[in-house]
């Protein structure tokens, strides 16, 4: 039996380091591998970037819908805002006051009111969300000579006029002044159907005046004079008197101009979140320097750009017809060159041993998955050799030179030939007299 072609050629190539085109002096032809450089077409580009196109269109659509909905919700703007031309705003009244020579200052915080107010100024207060507390309301009424409070809530009434309460909605079809307040007298008639205030104990407070009565003790305008500071606080529970939609009806315009235009200075004050008292420890944004926030934003954009850059897909640069057929001789030669270059004699010998063990197992009647010890025992029994000698050839021998590698490969060949001759001579295979458990074959490393 001749030495197996594959293993012997591997050993020879590993020893002599021959070129890939020669094995045993015979030139091996190579099949050229044809590669094609593929330029992406327009359809391929569209398919590649389709996700980003769809994502961009979706983002634009969602943003458009959000802007549309927010614009629809904020169409009315801030109620009674001096720069709001919507029906709920008061821009018309502010412009008329300015045309009459009144300097109107729009304020969003109590600090702005302090800066803008004068000794004879009038302040319009509309605290729709109840941002001001009792101390702030008291301070505000003490600063201004005249304060017009629109739609006061319970806290506001307790701070500026404790004896005034809520009177419900007016059910009168006509509201006439019926008081001595000059602005109410000029207005003569007020828009009916609005909220009212009650004065249950007016007799004990001569400095409180009620106008536009809806009943015995309910009024649509209440004016309170402060005998200590000399200031006047006018309470108008119906905010419709001052908005653009209703200011021109009935005597609303005359009443509004009469209450807000006595002086040359008017502070139009609508409190905001800036008036809320600060509680708790300072936030992280307040503790960090001003450059931290822009730097963080820049880092976020840089991270997003890096993620997009590293995560994008370029697609295939070279198209190759698969599968590629590689000759067995080329694989053998390439592995042999690697063994020779790295002096991997043991790996080359192990490759030969693996093939030899599998062939020996078939020769003695064992399966290809037979355990190594079973193969060694069967071969020793059939050939009459000592098990240690068989183990040395199949496992233990360690090649330290190319000559030893060739000698060990010849020992493998001789062992295979002896086993084959013994089997042909009628020696009983090991499988006929012994039963072996055959786990999967393992790599044989000494």
> Which of 7-21, 206-220, 322-336, 349-363 has the weakest average pLDDT?
7-21
Over range 302-308, report the average pLDDT: 87
Give the span between the Cα atoms of 441 and 20, in whole angstroms: 31
Q: Is the pLDDT of residue 368 over 50?
A: yes
Report residue 70's pLDDT band, with 50, 70 and 90 as the boundaries. low
Residue 310: inside a domain, yes or no? no
Is-contact 20 335, C-beta < 8 A?
no
The answer to whether residues 267 and 367 belong to one domain is no
For residue 444, name the pLDDT band (cuts at 50, 70, 90): very low
Same domain, 104 and 241: yes
Last residue of a domain, one of 212, 242, 273: 273
Q: How confident is the model at residue 90 (pLDDT cuts 50, 70, 90)?
A: very high
CA dihedral 168, 173, 178, 179 (to 10 degrees): 40
Q: Can you read off the two tokens belonging to residue 362?
A: 């078939």
Cβ proximity of 405 and 349 under 8 Å: yes
Token pair of 73 as six digits: 């919700």
Same domain, 225 and 330: no
Report how far Cα 74 is from the mean position of its chain's Cα atoms.
28
Final residue before a domain boundary, out of 212, 245, 273: 273
Same domain? For 259 and 332 the reply is: no
The answer to the question of residue 255 being in a domain is yes
| Contacts within 8 Å (CB) and 24+ apart, 75-80 | 78/270, 79/126, 79/128, 79/239, 79/243, 80/126, 80/128, 80/150, 80/239, 80/242, 80/243, 80/270
Segment 352-362 mean pLDDT: 87
Structure tokens at 432: 């006929």
0.75 exceeded by pTM? no
pLDDT for the residue 201: 64
Q: pLDDT higher for 225 or 317?
A: 225
Residue 42 lies in a domain: no
pLDDT at residue 181 is higher than 60: yes
pLDDT at 428: 57
Q: Give strand ranges (E) for 242-371.
A: 265-269, 318-319
pLDDT, residue 185, reads: 93
In tens, the pLDDT along 382-417 reads 888 898 888 888 888 888 888 888 888 888 889 888
Give the total number of structural domains in the chain: 2
Phi, psi for residue 115 in degrees, rounded to 5: -75, -30
Do 267 and 331 lie in one domain? The reply is no
Q: Which range has the worst mean pLDDT, 199-203, 288-292, 295-299?
A: 199-203
pLDDT band at 227 (very low <50, low <70, confident <90, very high): low
| 24, part of any domain | yes
Q: Does residue 154 sit in the same domain as residue 250?
A: yes
317: pLDDT confidence band, cut at 50, 70 and 90? Answer: low
The predicted pLDDT at position 211 comes to 92
Q: Which domain holds residue 330?
A: 5-31+325-433
Question: Domain check: are 131 and 196 in the same one?
Answer: yes
Last residue of a domain, one of 247, 273, 299: 273
**71 confidence band (pLDDT: 50, 70, 90):** low
332 and 238 in a common domain: no
């Amino acid at each position: 039996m001749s030495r197996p072609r594959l293993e012997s050629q591997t050993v020879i190539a590993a020893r002599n380091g021959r070129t890939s085109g020669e094995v045993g002096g015979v030139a091996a032809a190579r099949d050229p591998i044809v590669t094609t450089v593929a330029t992406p077409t327009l359809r391929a580009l569209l398919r590649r970037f389709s996700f980003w196109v769809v994502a961009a269109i979706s983002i634009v659509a969602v943003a458009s819908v959000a802007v549309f909905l927010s614009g629809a919700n904020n169409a009315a703007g801030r109620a009674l805002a001096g720069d709001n031309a919507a029906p709920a705003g008061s821009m018309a009244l502010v412009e008329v006051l300015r045309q009459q020579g009144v300097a109107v200052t729009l304020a969003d915080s109590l600090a702005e009111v302090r800066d803008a107010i004068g000794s004879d100024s009038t302040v319009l207060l509309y605290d729709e969300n109840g941002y001001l507390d009792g101390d702030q309301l008291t301070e505000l009424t003490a600063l201004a000579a005249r304060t017009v409070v629109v739609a006061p809530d319970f806290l506001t009434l307790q701070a500026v006029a404790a004896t005034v309460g809520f009177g419900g909605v007016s059910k009168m079809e006509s509201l006439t002044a019926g008081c001595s307040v000059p602005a109410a007298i000029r207005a003569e008639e007020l828009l009916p159907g609005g909220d009212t205030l009650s004065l249950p104990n007016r007799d004990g407070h001569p400095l409180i005046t009620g106008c536009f009565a809806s009943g015995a003790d309910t009024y649509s305008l209440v004016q309170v004079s402060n005998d200590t500071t000399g200031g006047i606080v006018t309470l108008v529970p119906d905010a419709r008197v001052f908005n653009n939609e209703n200011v021109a009806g009935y005597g609303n315009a005359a009443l509004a101009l009469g209450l807000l235009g006595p002086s040359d200075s008017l502070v139009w004050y609508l409190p905001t979140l800036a008036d809320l008292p600060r509680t708790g420890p300072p936030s992280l944004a307040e503790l960090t320097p001003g450059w931290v926030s822009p730097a963080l934003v820049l880092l976020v954009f840089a991270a997003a750009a890096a993620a997009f850059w590293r995560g994008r897909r370029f697609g295939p640069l070279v198209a190759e017809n698969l599968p590629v057929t590689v000759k067995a001789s080329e694989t053998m030669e390439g592995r042999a060159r690697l063994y020779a270059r790295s002096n991997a004699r043991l790996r080359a010998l192990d490759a030969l041993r693996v093939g030899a063990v599998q062939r020996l197992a078939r020769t003695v009647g064992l399966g290809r998955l037979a355990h190594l010890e079973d193969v060694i025992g069967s071969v020793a029994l059939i050939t009459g050799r000592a098990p240690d000698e068989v183990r040395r050839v199949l496992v233990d021998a360690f090649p330290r030179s190319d000559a030893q590698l060739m000698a060990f490969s010849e020992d493998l060949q001789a062992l295979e030939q002896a086993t084959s001759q013994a089997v042909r001579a009628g020696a009983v295979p090991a499988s006929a007299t012994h039963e072996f458990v055959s786990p999967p074959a393992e790599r044989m490393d000494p």
